Amino acid sequence: MNLEFSEDQQFVQQTARDYLSEYASPEVCRAVMESDKPYDADLWKGVAEMGWLGATVPEEFGGAGLGYLELVLIAEELGRALAPIPFSSSVYLATEALLIAGSEEQRQKYLPQLCSGELIGTFAFAEGPGDLETDAVATDYADGKLNGEKIPVLDGDAAGVAAVLARSSAGPSLVLVDLEGEGVTRTVLESFDPSRSQAKISFSGAPAELLGEEGQGADLTSRLLDRAAVLMGFEQIGGAERTLELTREFTMGRYTFGRPVASYQALKHRLADLYAAIQVATSNGYYAAWALSEDNDELPVSACSTRVAASDAFCLGAEEMIQMHGGVGFTWEYDCHLFFRRAKLLSLALGSPSAWREKLIQRLEASDAA
């Protein structure tokens, strides 16, 4: 196993960093947060033109035909930049759902639009507070119609199509729903991170079509969330790395008694702890990225460990960033709260870290038993 990225892959990452440093600064994130826009349309258009929205989609469906190793590096750079676009919802979830379970007709219809950015997708699985229990899903699918409510749905107000987890006569199933169609009502929610919108979506006899086999929704959802956990994990790693860089830069430039405050043990040890947490997350992420790219049996376990480690690292980085910026760290004018908001939102977007820890334990026990 080679955990080094190739020169071509490193070039993809550097290109992404250069582009985002120019067009996706924290000021862009702040501008979206302070407006009523769900995302930055210019950045979304630019990202689509770069081909990132279809990084793993075959060229026959309008994609770039790259791989997951390239996509995780793009995700890392998006995390560093706090990009205020529905990338994770549309790429990690909706596009992946179609790649995993979509029919040839569904792929031909939706993937080219998702790759071009003309259509934004999302995945609606939550039905209120608490972690996902597929057996307790109340949203109902029968006779091609969907009834129920999903809350919260990440980027639900911006998306035009959604993969929805619903119950059916055969068990939990995934269905595709046109969010612009009849029987769909969307309500924008107040988000902890307004640069990434959330919505409540109500379905009342909304036309829907099966995504995959009926009754296979629990398994498909598990596979989809595992993939998204790896991809979002790299977004979190990128955000954590950036918090460390900015915090180190600030504390090295802040002097007291003639020396940088970063030189004091009280801060040096905390920065070292943050660095260690990021390295743990990165190590887990590299292994999970390999498992994802190879569709290896290690993916379920490595996805859990990456999800937990990346969530912990980004949240720790954002919290320490505020603390080590001292009296200005919590103010609106500084960017610390932007990273804190994004860290907390991403840590819950696919289910809480506690739920993923429990899932990790269960999967390890099952592996030992086997």
Is residue 207 situated within a structural domain?
A: yes
Q: What is the pLDDT of residue 260?
A: 87
Residue 308 and residue 228 share a domain: yes
Tokens of 290: 């390999």
For residues 85-101, give the mean pLDDT.
Answer: 98
From 75, 96, 116, the end of a domain falls on 116
Taking 90 as the threshold, does the pLDDT of residue 105 lie above it?
Answer: yes
**CA distance linking residue 120 with residue 114, whole number of Å:** 6
**CATH number of the domain encompassing residue 327:** 1.20.140.10
Neighbour tally for 330: CB within 10 Å: 13
Is residue 1 situated within a structural domain?
A: no
**CATH number of the domain encompassing residue 180:** 2.40.110.10
What is the phi-psi region of residue 148: left when phi exceeds 0, alpha when psi lies from -120 to 50, beta otherwise?
Answer: left
Q: What is the pLDDT of residue 25?
A: 87
pLDDT digits (tens, 9 = 90+) for 345-359: 999 999 999 999 999
**CA distance linking residue 140 with residue 149, whole number of Å:** 9
For residues 261-274, give the mean pLDDT.
Answer: 91
Q: What is the pLDDT of residue 254?
A: 86
pLDDT digits (tens, 9 = 90+) for 274-299: 999 999 999 999 999 999 999 999 99
Q: Which residue(s) pair with 213 in the sheet?
A: none
Taking 90 as the threshold, does the pLDDT of residue 255 lie above it?
Answer: no
Residue 201 and residue 107 share a domain: no
- Pick from 301, 311, 295: which is nearest to 359 by CA? 301
What is the torsion angle, in degrees rounded to the nearest 10, for the CA atoms of residue 129, residue 134, residue 140 and residue 145?
110
- Pick from 38, 78, 37, 30: which is nearest to 159 by CA? 38
Taking 70 as the threshold, does the pLDDT of residue 2 lie above it?
Answer: no
**Cβ-proximal residues to 267 (8 Å cutoff; 6+ apart), any chain:** 251, 261, 324
| 3-class DSSP assignment, residue 199 | strand
- Pick from 63, 90, 77: which is nearest to 11 by CA? 77
Taking 90 as the threshold, does the pLDDT of residue 341 lie above it?
Answer: yes
In contact, 247 and 320? CB cutoff 8 Å = yes
Q: Note down the domain range covering 266.
A: 218-369
Taking 90 as the threshold, does the pLDDT of residue 37 lie above it?
Answer: yes
From 81, 116, 151, the end of a domain falls on 116
Domain count, the chain: 3
Element (H, E) at 172: strand 171-178
Residue 295 and residue 204 share a domain: no
Q: What number of residues does the chain have?
A: 370
For residues 189-217, give the mean pLDDT.
Answer: 96
Taking 80 as the threshold, does the pLDDT of residue 1 lie above it?
Answer: no
3-class SS string, 97-115: HHHHHCCHHHHHHHHHHHH
Give the confidence band of 28 by pLDDT, cuts at 50, 70, 90. Answer: very high
**CA distance linking residue 174 with residue 230, whole number of Å:** 21
Give the confidence band of 319 by pLDDT, cuts at 50, 70, 90. Answer: very high
Residue 345 and residue 227 share a domain: yes
**CA distance linking residue 41 with residue 358, whole number of Å:** 38
**CA distance linking residue 319 with residue 273, whole number of Å:** 13
DSSP summary character for residue 59: G
Q: Which residue(s) pair with 177 in the sheet?
A: 162, 208
Q: Which residue has the tokens 């309008």?
A: 62
